[in-house]
Structure 1
Amino acid sequence: MRNRCWTSDQLDRRGLPHQDACPFCDQEEETLDHILQTCVFARTVWRTLCSALGKPQWSPTAQDTLKEWCVARASGAHKPKELRALLTLGLWELWKHINAIVLDGASPLLEVVVRCVIAEGRAWQQASLLKGEVGSTFELLVGWAGSE
C-alpha cells in the first residue's frame, strides 16, 4: 500500500536495470498499482475472486488505485478482518506470479493464480487466519478451477 515494492518504475528511479513493460500484459509500465490491480490480467484475477465471494461488483476498474480499491472493499464489510485477509491473499498470489514470470520464465495464467489462491487459502484456514464463511469461497473457486 505504500508503493515500496521494487517494480520497474522504482528500479528506473534508482537507475537500475528493469523491464520496459508489465510482464502480465506487455502494454503498460510496470507499477505496483498496475500489476496488482489495473492490469487486464490482474483485473481478470480479481473479477474471478470477487465473483467467488459473491461480489462481482467489487471487481476493480482501470481507473481505480490499489489503495483506494482495497480500502473501499474493506470498509463497511460484514467481516472486515476476513475480507482484508482475502484481499491480502489475492495480492500475495499476484505478486508471487509476477515474480515467477520475471525470474523463472513462467507464463501469465489465470488458472495458476486461482489454484495458488485455493492452496494458500486452505493453508491460511488451517492456520486459523481465515475462518467462517470464507471456506465456501474456496469451494466456489475449486469448482471454477475444475471447470476450466
Structure 2
Amino acid sequence: MPKCKWTVDGQFSTASAYRAYFLGQEAILGAKCLSKTRAPGKCKFFAWLALHDKCWTAARRKRHHLQDDDFCALCGSESESIDHLLVGCSFTRQVWHQLLLRENAASLTPTTQDLALAAWWTRGRKLIHKKSRKPFDSTVVLVSWAIWLERNARTFNRQHRTVAQMVDHILKEAPAWVHARYKTIFSISQQQSAAPSNVGHELVPL
C-alpha cells in the first residue's frame, strides 16, 4: 500500500495535506486575524479576497484590459485598488473617522500613511485592549463590506451615499450583526446607550 511522504508515520490526513500544500508559503498579513473574526460568511469571504488582492476593482479591471481608466468610484481622484478603497480613499477615511469618533477612538482612523488594509488592521488591534479586539475585527469586516457595496452601487447602479448616509447605514446594520451573534464596537455602545459611548476608552491605550 502506498504511503504518504508528508508524515512520519506515512498516514494521510487532511491536516497533513494542508500543511504540505502551505509549507514554505509566506503567510498573508491579516489572515490570522480574519480566520478568528466573527462575521457573516459572505463578508469574511470578501475580506479574504481583499487581503489576497483578488477583488475586481477598477485598477484590476484596467490591468486585464477590461476598462480604460482606474479612477476610484468613491473619491474619483486616485487609482482604485482594494487597499485604496478600504483604507486609503478620502471618502473611506471620513466614514471611519465619523464612526470611530462616536466611540472616542478617532485616533484609530486610517491616515494618509496607511496604504494597506492588513497593515492598518493589525496595527490598530495592537493599540486596543485584548477584550475589544474581536469586536474591532468584526467592525473592520462590517465597514469594509459596506464600503465595497457602496463602490458597487456607484459603479453599476449610479447610486451614491454621502459620508453621513454611510455612517447612518453602518450604524443601523450593526444591531443585525448582534442578533446573529457578531459583536461590533458599535453594537457595544448601542447596547449601553443611544448616545455616543465611552467604549473608546477600551479601544485606545490607557
Global fold match (TM > 0.5): yes
Conserved? CA contact 2:73–2:151, under 8 Å: yes
Moved >6 Å (runs of 4+): none
How high is the sequence identity, in percent, across the aligned residues?
27
Distance 2:185 2:151 in 1: 30
**Hey, what does 2:54 align to over in structure 1?**
4
Give the conservation status (yes or no) of the 8 Å contact 2:171–2:186.
Answer: no
Quickly say closer, same or farther: Cα 1:132–1:90, change in 2 above 3 A. closer
Aligned to 2:82, which of 22, 32, 39? 32
Deviations 1:125-144 (A, max 9, x none): 11111178833158457xxx
Equivalent position of 2:160 in the other structure = 107
Q: CA deviation at 1:38?
A: 1.0
Name the count of aligned residue pairs.
141
Task: Measure, in 1, the Cα distance between the counterparts of 2:90 and 2:77.
Answer: 10
Q: 2:146 aligns with which of 93, 96, 101?
A: 93
SS of 1:106's equivalent in the other structure is: coil
Distance 2:185 2:175 in 1: 12
Q: Give 5+ residue unaligned stretches, structure 1.
A: 142-148
Q: Structure 2: how far apart are the matches of 1:140 and 1:52?
A: 8
TM-score (norm 2): 0.62
Structure 2: which 5+ residue stretches go unaligned? 1-50, 197-206
Alignment equivalent of 2:170, drawn from 104, 117, 126: 117
Which residue among 128, 137, 150 is the counterpart of 1:77? Answer: 128
Distance 1:35 1:72, change over 3 A: same
Equivalent residues of 1:8, 1:18 under 8 A apart: no
After TM superposition, the score normalised by the length of structure 1 is: 0.84
More helix by share: 1
> Aligned in 2, Cα 1:110/1:12: closer, same or farther, shift over 3 Å?
same
